[in-house]
Amino acid sequence: MDKIKNLFNKSINFVKSNKLVTGVILIIIIIIFVVYNTFSKDRNEDYETDKKEDKEIKTKNNYLFFQNEHPSNIPYRIDSKKLDKPVNEAMSLSFFIKVNNWYFNFDSWKHILHKGTFIEHDSNKKFNNLKFQSPGLWFHPKINNLRFVLSVYNNFEFKHKYCDIPNIPIGKYFHIVFTVENNTLSIFINKRLVKTCIFEGIPILTEGDVYINHGTTFDGFMKNLQFYDKVVSIDEIAELYSQK
């Protein structure tokens, strides 16, 4: 105990006798604190707001996100309040997307977006690590396939069901529409129906936020993202495609 008291007293005496050194140390600590908080605040504001007035436009029927192209290296979150709640187990999703370099983040699942489970913007989680995805969209680690993930309730369990779209175009924009009605998924590329998948189980169309470009992502852009609380018609898909 005496040794601890002596050490403490020596420390106090050092501070008293070296006021200049102590002052310099305090100034350095204050500067580091200010710089850190400024950086953290700016980074958080970029992530949360990211000039939302330029990214989100209220239309007659819903919100239009990213009228101007949005780069894949910037994470974005859409508040679920901006989206209509799916009714009668039906929903649609429409957007344009462009992949510049397929080999970017090669050998990793590349996050495009998902609606549901919270995820950090710097997370390294894969599609099967997120419990609720209604839907989830990911690029395959090695081949130019796009995976549509949907959370379903089947045999008293929550499960992931997925549908892969092969041969995604590289180096140019293409339009894609997903429609979900009951347990049937229909996929349209450039207004053409290219695939239909039937899922076993009841789709879990969650009311969670939408997370875009989180964690490991692709190299490219997205624009004209829209969600619908219904199955859009063939005529509506053609109209959406014409907005390119």
Look at residue 39 in the predicted model and tell me its pLDDT: 39
Look at residue 78 in the predicted model and tell me its pLDDT: 92
Q: Check whether residue 58 and residue 95 sit in a common domain.
A: yes
Percent of the chain with pLDDT over 90: 46
CA distance linking residue 92 with residue 206, whole number of Å: 13
Q: Check whether residue 24 and residue 66 sit in a common domain.
A: no
Q: Check whether residue 159 and residue 68 sit in a common domain.
A: yes
Look at residue 16 in the predicted model and tell me its pLDDT: 55
Q: Check whether residue 187 and residue 154 sit in a common domain.
A: yes
CA distance linking residue 198 with residue 127, whole number of Å: 19
Q: For residue 18, how far is the Cα from the chain centroid?
A: 52
Q: Say which residue, 2 or 69, is predicted with more confidence.
A: 69
Condensed to tens digits (0 to 9), the pLDDT of residues 51-66 reads: 555 678 877 667 889 9
Look at residue 125 in the predicted model and tell me its pLDDT: 65
Look at residue 62 in the predicted model and tell me its pLDDT: 79
Question: Considering its fold, how many domains does the chain have in total?
Answer: 2
Look at residue 76 in the predicted model and tell me its pLDDT: 94
Look at residue 117 in the predicted model and tell me its pLDDT: 80
Look at residue 127 in the predicted model and tell me its pLDDT: 61
Q: Check whether residue 66 and residue 35 sit in a common domain.
A: no
Residue 110: which domain range? 53-241
Q: Check whether residue 120 and residue 237 sit in a common domain.
A: yes
Q: Check whether residue 28 and residue 147 sit in a common domain.
A: no
Q: Check whether residue 10 and residue 68 sit in a common domain.
A: no
| Lowest mean pLDDT, pick from 79-88, 92-101, 102-111, 176-185 | 79-88
Confidence of residue 120 (pLDDT cuts 50, 70, 90): confident
Q: Say which residue, 217 or 152, is predicted with more confidence.
A: 217
